[in-house]
Amino acid sequence: MSERLDVRKTYKLLVGGAFPRSESGRSYEVLDAKGRFLANVAQASRKDVRDAVVAARSAQRAWWSLTPYNRGQVLYRLAEMAEARGRELAEQVGRAEGIRATEARATVARSIDRLVWYAGWCDKVAQVLGGQNPVAGPYFNFSVPVPSGVVGVLADQASSLEAFVDAVAAPLAAGNTVVALASETRPIPAALLGEMSATSDLVPGALNVLTGRTGEVAPVLASHEDVDGLDLAGADDVFAGELAALAAETVTRVLRGADPQDRGLKRLRAFVETSTVWHTIGP
Amino acid sequence: MVEVSPAPLRLVVDDERALRPRPGASVPVVESEAQLRSLLRGLAGVDAVGAEARAAKLATRSLKRETKRAAIDLALSMVDLTTLEGADTPGRVASLCAKARRPDPEEPDTPAVAAVCVYPDLVATARAHLVGSGVRVASVATAFPSGRASRAVKLLDVADAVAAGADEVDMVLDRGAFLSGRLGEVFDEVVAVREACGPAHLKVILEVGELVTYDNVRRASWLAMLAGADFIKTSTGKVAVSATLPTALVMLEAVRDFAESTGRLVGVKAAGGIRTTKEALRYLVVVNETAGSAWLDPALFRFGASSLVNDLLLQRRKQRSGAYARPDRVSVD
C-alpha cells in the first residue's frame, strides 16, 4: 500500500468574506516557538490592505444596521465556532507561544469567554456610553454612541489569540468593521479565528484578517485615509509613534498602550463617536 | 454662446505602427442595400475565442509610476461625464458641469474631462455652465435608449439637441432593423441623422449587448462608419451587458481597418460598466495595441462614465501622496 501524501495547509487572508492568497502571490514561513517549521502563511501586500479597507468600508453600514441584539448573537455564534474548534486553536496557540497544553487550553477558554463578554456588550453600549443631557428648554437631548467606522488593528505580537480577540471583538461590538493585521511571527490562531468568522453569520467584510510583515503593511494601513481608527497594540513605542504620525494626517483615532489584561471598557470606548440627538417632549 | 470647433483629426503620428492608408484610399459610396449587404457580408468573421484571449492577455499588462500617472490623466481627459436619469435636474447638471471643468478642486492641475453628456432638454443648461471651458456638450438623441420611435421623431430629437448647442450627438442604432436584416433602413437613418447633426459630431451607439455576436458588432461598426459616424460607441449603459474589453477590441480593429482602407479616422467610445481606474487603463492598453497611439486622444477615444471619474481622482491622489485616499474626499454625484 502506498504511503499517503501529506495534505499541508497554507493559511490564507480573510478579505471581504473570501479567503484570497495575497494579491502579490507571496507567502512566508511561520515557525513555532522552538524554531521548527509550522506552516506557510500568505504574505499580504499593500494592495491587500487596500482591498481589505474597501471591503470593511462597504460592510460597515450593513454591520451597523443590524440590531444590536443581532450583532451580539453573531459574536456569540463566533464564540460557538471557536468552542467547537477549541482543540485546534489550543494546539496552534501552544505551538506558536511555546506554552504547555494545559496553559494553551486555558488561554483559548479565556479568549472564548472574552468573545462572549463582548457579544453581551453589543446591546448595552448605548445604555452605558450614551445618556440624556439636561437642557434649558422643553426638549430632550440624547447622546448616542455611534461607531467610528473602519478600524485598523495592529494585533499584539506575543499573545496570538487572547489579545487578538480582545482587539477585534471590541470594535466589532461597538458596530465598527475591522481590518486586523495578525502577529507577524504567530499569525495562525488569528487566521483560524478568521476562518471561524466566515461561518458565524458575520457580515462579509466586517472582519478582515491579514497576515504578513508588520513593518511593510502597517504603515499602509496607518496612512490609509479611509481608516477611522487605529489600534497600535502590536507596535513598540518607536514604531507606534511613526504610525500614529501617519494616522494623524487624516485625524484617525489612535489607541496606544491598551493592556489586553485590562478588563475595563477602554477598547470598547476607543472607537465610538458621540452623536447628539434632540427630541421634543410629548404632550 | 461659444462655438467649440471639433478638434482636428490627426493622421501623422510618430509611432512605428503609424497609420498608413492605402494609396488612393477613400470612403466607398454606398449606392444600394445590396451593395451594403455584400460589403458587410464580405467582412471576415471574428475569431471570438481569439478576441477574448487577446483582450484577457492585454488586461494583464500593468502600468507603473510615470506611465500610470500619465494614463490616469489621459483617461480623465477622455471621459464623457454622463448623467442620463429620469430624475436629472438643472441643478444636478450644473454640479456635474462644475465637476467636468475642475474634477478635483484640491488638485488644480487635474485635467478637465472631454464632455458632459445629458438628455436633449438639459443641453442648454449644460451649455450655459460650460461656456469658455473647452469641455464639450454631448447629448443623447433619437429616442435614447431604445430608439423605438419614428424617423421623424428621432430627427426632431436630434435637431432639438443641436439647436440647444450640443457639440456631439449620441444616437442609438436601430437594433431591431439591424437584427432583422433591414440594413438599408439602418444605414439611411444614420445618414439622415448625420445630416441633421450639421457641425455636431455624431456618435453611433451600437448597443453591443443586444447585437449578441462579435460578427454583428464588426458589421454594425462598419455600417455606422460607412454612413458617416465620427465615433462608434459600445452601449447605452441601460441594458444588462455593456462595454466589455473584447467588444471594444473588435470595434477598435474595425476603426483601424476602416482607416487603413479609407483614410478616415473614426473614434471609439466605451460606455457602461467601466467604474474603476484599473478597468479604464486596460482599455487604454487595448486601444494602443489595437488601433495605435493615434487613438490615445480624446478626439478619438472616450469613456462614457460617471462613477469612473471618482475612482480616477482617488487613484490620482494616491499616486501623488502615497497614501490610499478616502472615497468621500471627492464629490458624490
Q: Specify if A267 maps to a domain.
A: yes
Whether the complex's predicted ipTM surpasses the cut of 0.90? no
**B228 within 8 A of B203, measured Cβ to Cβ:** no
Tally A–B CB contacts below 8 A: 22
Cα distance between residue A30 and residue B186, in whole Å: 66
Q: How far apart are the CA of B111 and the nearest CA of chain A, in angstroms? A: 23
Cα distance between residue B154 and residue B170, in whole Å: 12
Q: Specify if A110 maps to a domain.
A: yes
Q: Specify if A109 maps to a domain.
A: yes
Secondary structure element (H or E) that encloses residue A132, with its range: strand A131-132
Pairing of strands B136-140, B168-172: parallel
Which parts of chain B fold into alpha helices (H)?
33-41, 48-58, 65-77, 90-101, 123-129, 151-163, 175-179, 183-197, 208-211, 214-226, 245-262, 277-290, 307-321
Backbone angles phi, psi at A206, to 5 degrees: -65, -40
Contact B326 A249 (CB under 8 A): no
Determine the pLDDT at residue B3. Answer: 43
What strands, in cross-sheet order, belong to the sheet with A253-255?
Answer: A207-210, A177-181, A150-154, A229-231, A253-255
Cα distance between residue B73 and residue B200, in whole Å: 26
Choose the mutation target among A23, A51, A179, A225 for the interface with B, i.e. most B CBs under 10 Å.
A225
Choose the mutation target among B106, B326, B328, B332 for the interface with A, i.e. most A CBs under 10 Å.
B326
Give the residues of chain A that fall short of pLDDT 70: 1, 260, 283
- Residue A36's contacts (CB-CB under 8 Å, 6 or more residues apart) are none
Please list the pLDDT of chain B residue by residue as tens digits (333 residues). Answer: 344 444 433 334 444 445 666 777 788 888 899 999 999 999 999 999 999 999 999 999 989 889 999 999 999 999 999 999 999 999 999 999 999 999 999 999 999 999 999 999 999 999 999 999 999 999 999 999 999 999 999 999 999 999 999 999 999 999 999 999 999 999 999 999 999 999 999 999 999 999 999 999 999 999 999 999 999 999 999 998 889 999 999 999 999 999 998 999 999 999 998 999 999 999 999 999 999 999 999 999 999 998 999 999 999 999 988 889 988 888 877
Q: How many CB atoms lie within 10 A of CB A236?
A: 9
Contact B324 A249 (CB under 8 A): no
Determine the pLDDT at residue B8. Answer: 38
Q: Specify if A98 maps to a domain.
A: yes
Contact B326 A220 (CB under 8 A): no
- Of B316, B330, B322, B332, nearest to B70 by C-alpha is B316
CA A173 to chain centre: 10
Pairing of strands A37-42, A10-11: parallel
Contact B325 A246 (CB under 8 A): no
- Of A32, A4, A8, A11, nearest to A196 by C-alpha is A11
- Written as nine digits, the cell of B112 is 478637465
CB burial of residue A109 (10 Å; 0-12, 13-18, 19+):
middle
Determine the pLDDT at residue B10. Answer: 38
Chain B segment 313-332 residues within 8 A of A by beta carbon are: 322-327, 329
Contact B323 A50 (CB under 8 A): no
- CATH number of the domain within which A214 lies: 3.40.605.10
Beta bridge partners of B267: B231
Q: Specify if A2 maps to a domain.
A: no
Which candidate in B80, B104, B167, B170 is catalytic?
Answer: B170
Distances (CA, A) of A9 to A23, B74, B111: 18, 45, 49
- Residue B186's contacts (CB-CB under 8 Å, 6 or more residues apart) are B173, B174, B177, B178, B223
- Residues of A whose CB is below 8 A from B323: 223-225, 246, 249
**Domain B35-322, classified CATH 3.20.20.70, yes or no:** yes
- Residues of A whose CB is below 8 A from B322: 223
- Residues of B whose CB is below 8 A from A249: 323
**B277 within 8 A of B315, measured Cβ to Cβ:** yes
Active site residue B154: no
Range of the domain at A83: 10-280
Q: Specify if A233 maps to a domain.
A: yes
Active site residue B73: no
Q: How many CB atoms lie within 10 A of CB B141?
A: 29
Asked whether the CA dihedral A133, A134, A136, A140 is positive or negative, the reply is positive
Determine the pLDDT at residue A153. Answer: 97
B65 touches chain A (CB under 8 A): no
Contact B324 A246 (CB under 8 A): no
Q: How far apart are the CA of A232 and the nearest CA of chain B, in angstroms? A: 18
Q: Specify if A4 maps to a domain.
A: no
Secondary structure element (H or E) that encloses residue A166, with its range: helix A162-173
pTM for the structure as a whole: 0.86
Contact B326 A50 (CB under 8 A): no
Which candidate in B99, B154, B203, B233 is catalytic?
Answer: B233
Pairing of strands A139-147, A272-280: antiparallel
- Residues of B whose CB is below 8 A from A50: 324
Choose the mutation target among A226, A250, A251 for the interface with B, i.e. most B CBs under 10 Å.
A226
- Written as nine digits, the cell of A256 is 496606544
Active site residue B57: no
- Of B303, B249, B237, nearest to B276 by C-alpha is B303
Domains identified in chain A, total number: 1
Q: Specify if A70 maps to a domain.
A: yes
